[in-house]
C-alpha cells in the first residue's frame, strides 16, 4: 500500500502528540523527503521486508540489522527540552517517528557496514526516503561525521524549529560519550588497590579471562573489581594456574 502525503502527515502528527512524553511538535519536510533520491547501481546489495524498528536510526529486516546512513537519532533513554523548557522523551519519540514512516514494506540499499556488523543503508518506504525524512521532520540529526547528504534538510528543520529543534537537544554522539565517561568513572570508583607485590591485573571481558602485566598496552585502562570475580595476581604462573591467559599487546 502506498500512502499519500496527507495520510503520512496525519500519522506523523499523531505520533507527535502522544501526551506528556511526546508533546505537540511542529513537523514538516515530507514533500522534500519524497523527492530525495538515491540511485544504487546493480551491484549494490539490497534488502526489503517488513521492518522492526529498534530506535530512531536503526531497524531490522528479518535477521538483518540496518543502520540508517548519514543520520544520528537520539538514544532511547535520551531526553530533550521543548519550547517551554519542559523535559520530554525525545529518544522514544524519535523511534515512534520512524515507526510511523516505515509501516509499508521497507527497501534498503547498502552503502557500508559499520563496526558493529550492521548494514548501513539508505531506506525507503512508500516512496519516502526514510533517512531524509527523519532529518527533515527534525526527528534525527544529520551525521556529518560520516555524510553530508542531509545537512541541507537539517538546516531547514532547524530554521523552522521542527522536532528536536523546538528547544534544547544534545547531539546523540555527545550523549553517548558522556554515558561512556560516566561508566568509566563508576568502574574506576570500585577499583581496589593492588595487594603488596601483586600488580598483575586479572580482568574478565568479552574476550574472556585475561591478565595484564604492568607496562602492557591495556594495563593502565584496565580496572579490577574483585566482587565481579576479577583478581590481582602476584606472578604470571599464578595467573595461568588460575585459568587466565595473557592479553595481547
Residues contacting 79, CB < 8 A, separation 6+? 87, 88, 89, 90, 91
Q: What angle do CA 243, 180, 91 make, to 5 degrees?
A: 125
Q: Among 11-15, 52-56, 87-91, 152-156, name the one with the lowest average pLDDT.
A: 11-15
Q: What radius of gyration do the chain's Cα atoms show?
A: 23
Question: Angle at CA 24, nearest 5°, toward 21 and 28?
Answer: 125
Please give the mean pLDDT across all residues of the chain: 84
**pLDDT at residue 28, as a whole number:** 53
Strands lying side by side in the sheet with 200-205:
231-233, 200-205, 208-212, 245-246
State the residue for C-alpha cell 570508583.
189
d(CA 55, CA 75): 7
Mean pLDDT of 42-69: 94
**What pLDDT score was predicted for residue 4?**
39
What is the structure's pLDDT at 27? 52
Grid cell for residue 220? 593502565
Tally: H helices and E strands in the chain: 7, 15
Residue-wise pLDDT tens digits, 151-162: 999 999 999 999
pTM of the model: 0.65
Percentage of residues in the chain having pLDDT higher than 70? 80
Amino acid at each position: 500500500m502506498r500512502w499519500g502525503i496527507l495520510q503520512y502527515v496525519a500519522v506523523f502528527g499523531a505520533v507527535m502528540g502522544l501526551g506528556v512524553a511526546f508533546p505537540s511538535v511542529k513537523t514538516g519536510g515530507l514533500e522534500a523527503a519524497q523527492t530525495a533520491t538515491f540511485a544504487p547501481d546493480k551491484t549494490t546489495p539490497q534488502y526489503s521486508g517488513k521492518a522492526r524498528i529498534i530506535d530512531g536510526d536503526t531497524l531490522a529486516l528479518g535477521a538483518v540489522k540496518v543502520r540508517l546512513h548519514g543520520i544520528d537519532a537520539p538514544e532511547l533513554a535520551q531526553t530533550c527540552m521543548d519550547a517551554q523548557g519542559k523535559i520530554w522523551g525525545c529518544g522514544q519519540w524519535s523511534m515512534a517517528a520512524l515507526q510511523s514512516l516505515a509501516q509499508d514494506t521497507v527497501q534498503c540499499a547498502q552503502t557500508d557496514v559499520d563496526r558493529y556488523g550492521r548494514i548501513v543503508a539508505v531506506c525507503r518506504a512508500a516512496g519516502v526516503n526514510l533517512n531524509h525524512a527523519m532529518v527533515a521532520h527534525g526527528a534525527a540529526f544529520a551525521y556529518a561525521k560520516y555524510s553530508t547528504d542531509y545537512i541541507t534538510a537539517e538546516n531547514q528543520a532547524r530554521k523552522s524549529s521542527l522536532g528536536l529543534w523546538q528547544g534544547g537537544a544534545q547531539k546523540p554522539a555527545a550523549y553517548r560519550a558522556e554515558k561512556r565517561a560516566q561508566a568509566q568513572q563508576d568502574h574506576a570508583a570500585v577499583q581496589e588497590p593492588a595487594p603488596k607485590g601483586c600488580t598483575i591485573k586479572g580482568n574478565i571481558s568479552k574476550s574472556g579471562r585475561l591478565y595484564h602485566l604492568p607496562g602492557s598496552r591495556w594495563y593502565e585502562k584496565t580496572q579490577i573489581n574483585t566482587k565481579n570475580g576479577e583478581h590481582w595476581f602476584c606472578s604470571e604462573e599464578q595467573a595461568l594456574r588460575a585459568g587466565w591467559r595473557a592479553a595481547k599487546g
